[in-house]
Structure 1
Amino acid sequence: MPRTVDHDERRAQLSDALARVAAREGLHAVSMRSVAAEAGVSLRLVQYYFTNKQQLLVGALRRMEEQSNDRWRTRLAEIGRSPVPREILAAFIDEALPTDAPSRDFYMVSAAFSGLASTEPALAAEPLAGGVARLRESVAAAFHEAAGLDQLAPGADPDAEADGLIALCNGLSTAVVIGHHTPERAVDVARYHLDRVLPTAPSR
């Protein structure tokens, strides 16, 4: 009997192929045809699952965001207990910065997508497939929890600190990929900022 096609698996295969092409050659090199070649499938198959390049981009970014969140959750699970806010944010820094191949690819593709979205209203309407808003909610929640536990530095605003940490990680990520900082230095700078606003708190 012929093997039943897993459509989610096929979409994931094509999304992963797009990520590899974009991370290796830049988003300008991505086309339906280049993704088909990278995945080792026909152009017709790519067109069956994604009717245009925009849909393919959004699908790939959504998958990469899910993978990044999974890695963040894995880092937290390795703590072996319920993490305190500072540990949640330290794990976010480790995942948000391009310290390994998956996080570097995610940054490269998302940065290229953001640049393209600046001139394409349809893409701008779905920034990182909604991932930016979800990411901010998670980071802000950790800062608000810290504030509720009286762990934030005096005068610190949880929402402003969340936006500031995300912006800092974005800037440091750019510095890493263009060679101005090593990944290790970027992590040190981000953690230095975190230490100033959220001093080390006792574990639960």
Structure 2
Amino acid sequence: MRRFLFACALLAVSFLNAQTRYTLSGTVSEANSNETLIGVSILVPELSTGAVTNEYGFFSLTLPEGTYAVVITYLGFQDIQREVTLNSNQRIDFQMSEEAEELDEVVLTEDVERLDIRKPQMSVSALSVETIKQIPVVLGEADVIKSIILLPGVTNAGEASSGFNVRGGSVDQNLILLDEAIIFNSSHLFGFFSVFNPDAIK
């Protein structure tokens, strides 16, 4: 008889526990566009449990009756923490706002080429003679034109040519000046060497 009463008590307790569990569901969307968000984490730290939104932004959590702090987190958006009291099945929709990341300022303390900036110049790249002389050379002579090819946006015109292309332009679109004089042909000896002597220019 006692065993029967004990079994009935266990069934009653389990039945009561089963009745005190409720479902928290809803959708998570973006505040500005109202688009649903996929893969948002819905966490309940007190119970160490949670859920993730599906491809429709929907989530569902079955929890025991009580009051919980629900935390919603998503990369690039501000976290949401809301206290929810579960005494019945509830549907709560959340809207998340984007979180702007501010980076620390970048302070330039020294110019690599040690050049004084007198006026703003857009899309200007400069090479000093010291830098050019440190570049590996062929036949022991530093080549100014060949070193320009190492700059971003500059490509070689060909294996058997000394010309260079700048940002998609052709060889005949380059303007080469030496002491404000136009240089029409910047190479000699079939394009193997340039006409510029690195020891005579700045």
Q: TM-score, normalization: structure 2?
A: 0.21
User: Where is the strand percentage greater, Structure 1 or Structure 2?
Assistant: 2
User: Where is the helix percentage greater, Structure 1 or Structure 2?
Assistant: 1
Which protein has greater RCO, CA pairs closer than 8 Å, 6+ apart?
1
